[in-house]
Structure 1
Amino acid sequence: MFGYAQLFGNKATIFLCSFIIAVSVFAPSSAHAQLPPKVQFDLALRQLEQAIENNQWSETLQVIKKLEDQGLELPAIMHYYKGRAYVETGKGLLATKALEAYLGTASDTDAKYTEALDLYTRATKRKEQQKSWLEADIKKLKSAIHNAESRSRTHWDAFRYIASNWPLLYELSQVRISEADIEYGLESECEAAWKASVAEAERKLQNGDYPKRQRKHCKKRSNLCNLVDEMNDYKTRGPKVCRSMHRDWVSTRYKYNEQRNIVLTKTAELEKKQAELAAYNPAQ
């Protein structure tokens, strides 16, 4: 068992007095608020002792944070325990900061001084390793964003190509309506355009407005007449072509939106990683 002296050295009494004053000033908010200040301190200290004895470093950090939240000026040795806890939980950057705070005030005769030096070496290596990982992640994210943006442009060009052939589709793509409305608009526009073309071909046949050099074939209603061929083409291929264009439309929209979502998601991840990396490179 550590006890006050082992944890805080010869500053244990001063720290205890500071804790009692702090508790009397700051309204307690924990489940133990009804306990006297001295007992609250003993309880937190005992939790810290047990966490350190059992190598429960996440718990150690939680207990230290409870003490810090009381507005106390903690003794320097507490930075050592924070640093060790951060090292053991793999947080290199936070570990180096905590250990620098300890080593900046500690004497080379302090019990934990040599251990702190060794921990600082481990923390620095971990910090540099994690920094390199962040830089690699950022590089990958930038590449992923670039590729997704390139693919989205390709799908958008295909989307616009289809829409440019059917004006109604382009209009529908500019407003917020349901996918069902867009799909219906596509098929109806496709059908309407083809039917209009067929109607024009029928009108020309009825009026004898035949293409040059095809009069004989058109009078006989032969497929060698372009007008007749167009009418028959609609009957045999029209619905199939419209359905195919419908699938292309829906597929292109889906692929475009998929890539845009990737761009947005990866951009958010990139910004988060860049903010983390900035902590490794503080402004001079």
Structure 2
Amino acid sequence: MDIAEPFRLGLGTYTSAGDENCTQSVATALDVGYRHVDTAQVYGNEESVGEGIRQSSVPRKDIFLATKTVHHDVPGPEYEDILQAVDGCLQRLGVETVELLYVHWPTGIYDPAVTLPAFDELYDTGTIGHIGVSNFEPHQLDEAREILDAPIFAHQVEMHPLLQQDELRAYAQRHDHTLVAYAPIARGEVFDVPELTTIADKHGVSEAQVSLAWLLEKDVVPIPKASSEAHLRENFEARSLSLDTEDIEQIDAIEQEERLIDPDRAPWNQ
């Protein structure tokens, strides 16, 4: 899939509290040049993200806004519950539509036979521009593709040099959807990876920028989280960092593997 430039690198807002700091981070990121903003119902910050969008100088039509819903570990839901949940997301964000809606986790109340047709309806009515899934295993992707009428546009998973997701990346290439990487700098652990430090020193950049550039070289969309303007700019500048073949091969060969987001309910733990 050809990745459109506004979507190519985004702002993650996971753990950003629903307060002025989150609002300011979103507004600053948009003014820096970001056009892709990612949030979720469970983050509890959709109001703040929406306010940040309104406070920025960037028109809404130029922003690629993504959110996620339906994974809570409670009984249900019914078809109408899904539609109401998404309506709640839109109200909190203060928008009429979002460019991308993800199924957050294929756990808890997620029922593919109920959830995915509701997503199809939202897609058909133009309420959402694209359908995405998050934290799915290949067999769950197969199932979703069989049920959905609309194409899967994106699959969001943890990915960084310490969790390279070769199988899911190959699946995405084979079925023409984009892999979106959360925790793309491994919550700061990339700064302690010798291979990344060597490459960073070679190019006069940070290990975080190397990690983001590596993901971009793999046609993966990273969504790093940052709050300060300096870090927002540093992450954004990774778009212009060109890693050579030797750099890529050195990162690909990292044998250390670490998954940072690993709840018991995750499908890979079942």
Report the TM-score, using the length of structure 1 for normalisation: 0.21
Which structure has more strand as a fraction of its residues?
2
Which structure has more helix as a fraction of its residues?
1
Which of these two proteins has the greater Rg computed from alpha carbons?
1
Report the TM-score, using the length of structure 2 for normalisation: 0.22
